[in-house]
Amino acid sequence: MSTSAPTDRAPELALPITDPELEQRLRARLVDVEERLAGYTRSRSPFVTEAATHLMQAGGKRFRPLLVLLAAECGPDTLADEVITAACVVELTHLASLYHDDVMDEALVRRGEDSANARFDNHVAILTGDFLFARSSELTAQLGPEAVRIQAATFAKLVEGQILEGVEPPEGVDPVDHHLEVLAGKTGVLIATSALYGALFAGADKEIQEALLAYGDIVGVAFQLSDDILDIASDSEKSGKTPGTDLREGVPTLPVLLARRSTEPDDARLLELLDSDLTDDAALAECVALLRAHPALAEARAYVQARAEEAKAALAPVPEGPVRAALEAFADAVAVRSV
C-alpha cells in the first residue's frame, strides 16, 4: 500500500527516554510508523480517507506503537519489519476504538478537534471504526497465525470492556472490581499486547515476552486510574484537565467508588451530592472539595502507587539498561501523576 510523503519529525515521545541513542532510534522508527499509518488509513474513496484520517491527523501520543518499538529493543531482531507492522496494528486498533467510544459517549471533541461523530454522524463514525479495525486485521494476517490469535483475544477483551463500561455491576460484584475489569479491557489489554508484540517480533525469549505482557497490563490500568484521581485532584492550570468533569457526567472513577463504600455519618452530605445533579457549578465544587478531603482519595493514590511498583517488579527478567530504565520511569511517572 502506498504511503504519504515522508514526515519531517516523529511525534513527541510519550515515554521518558533518557538515553540519547535509544531516543534517536525510537524517533526514527516512529517516523516510519507515522508514514505507514498515513497509507493504511487511505481508501479508494476520498470521503472514507477523510473520515479515517480525521483522528490520526488530530495528533495523539502514539504511546502504543512507541511501546512496541521500545519492547523490541529487548530482542535480537529490533529492526525487523514485523515490529513496525505490529506497531501500526496496535495504533490502528486504538484509533478504531476511539471512533466507537465517541459514539457511545456522545462525545463532541477528541484531541482538541470535533469528534468523528460530531463532524460526520454516528453511522459514519461507527463504520470508519470498522474500516480501521479491518485494516489492522489485514496487517495482523501478515504477521502470522500467532499474531492473529493474540489480536483476536485482545479485540475480544477490548470490546468486552467497552460493553461492561455501560452496564451496572451484577448483583454481588464489587463496583470497584467491576471498574477495574472495565479498565483492564478498555485500556490495559491493548497496552499489554503492544509490549508483547515488540518482544515477540524482535525475537526476545519467552520469559521477557511474558514479563512485558504483565507489565503492560498492570501499567495500562494504573495509568487510567491516575486519570480517575486527576479528575478530582488536578490543578486545571497544571494538568489541563477541568476538575470534576467525570464526576459531573456520572462516569465512575476509583475515588468516587471507594467513597461510596463509606457508612460514616459524616459522609452523608458527600453521598447525597454523589447521587444528585452535579450540573450546578456550586454543587460540583462542593462535591470536589469533599472528595479531596476524603480518605478515599488517599486510598486511590496508594492503590495506583502499589500497582506502579507491581509493574516495575514484573520487569525483573528484562536486563538492566536504558530500555528497562525507560519502562520503570514510566511506571514511576504514573505513580507521581496521581499525587
For the cut 80, the answer to whether the pLDDT of residue 9 exceeds it is no
Report the alpha-carbon distance of residue 201 to residue 103 in Å, rounded. 34
Choice between 48 and 77, residue whose per-residue pLDDT is larger? 77
Burial pattern 74-90, b for ≥16 Cβ within 10 A else e, equals bbeebebebbbbbbbbb
Share of residues in the chain with pLDDT > 90 (%): 71
pLDDT level of residue 89 (50, 70, 90 thresholds): very high
Mean pLDDT of 301-320: 97
Mean pLDDT of 148-157: 97
Mean pLDDT of 228-251: 79
Share of residues in the chain with pLDDT > 70 (%): 89
Per-residue confidence (pLDDT) for residue 100, from 0 to 100: 73
Give 143-179 as a DSSP string: H-HHHHHHHHHHHHHHHHHHHHHTSPPPTTS-HHHHH
What is the separation, in whole angstroms, between the first and last Cα of the chain?
45
Query: How many other CB atoms are found less than 10 A from the CB of residue 329?
Result: 15
Please give the mean pLDDT across all residues of the chain: 89
Q: Over the stretch 179-219, which tens digit does the pLDDT of each residue have?
A: 999 999 999 999 999 999 999 999 999 999 999 999 999 99
pTM: 0.90
Under DSSP, is residue 236 helix (H, G, I), strand (E, B) or coil? helix
Per-residue confidence (pLDDT) for residue 196, from 0 to 100: 98
- Residue 111's Cβ-count burial label (10 Å; 0-12, 13-18, 19+) is middle
How many CA within 13 A on the CB side of residue 48? 14
Mean pLDDT of 300-317: 97
Mean pLDDT of 321-330: 96
Domains of the chain: 18-204 (1.10.600.10), 206-338 (1.10.600.10)
Burial pattern 19-32, b for ≥16 Cβ within 10 A else e, equals eeebbebbbebbbb
Query: How many other CB atoms are found less than 10 A from the CB of residue 48?
Result: 16
Per-residue confidence (pLDDT) for residue 4, from 0 to 100: 40
For the cut 50, the answer to whether the pLDDT of residue 141 exceeds it is yes
Per-residue confidence (pLDDT) for residue 1, from 0 to 100: 40
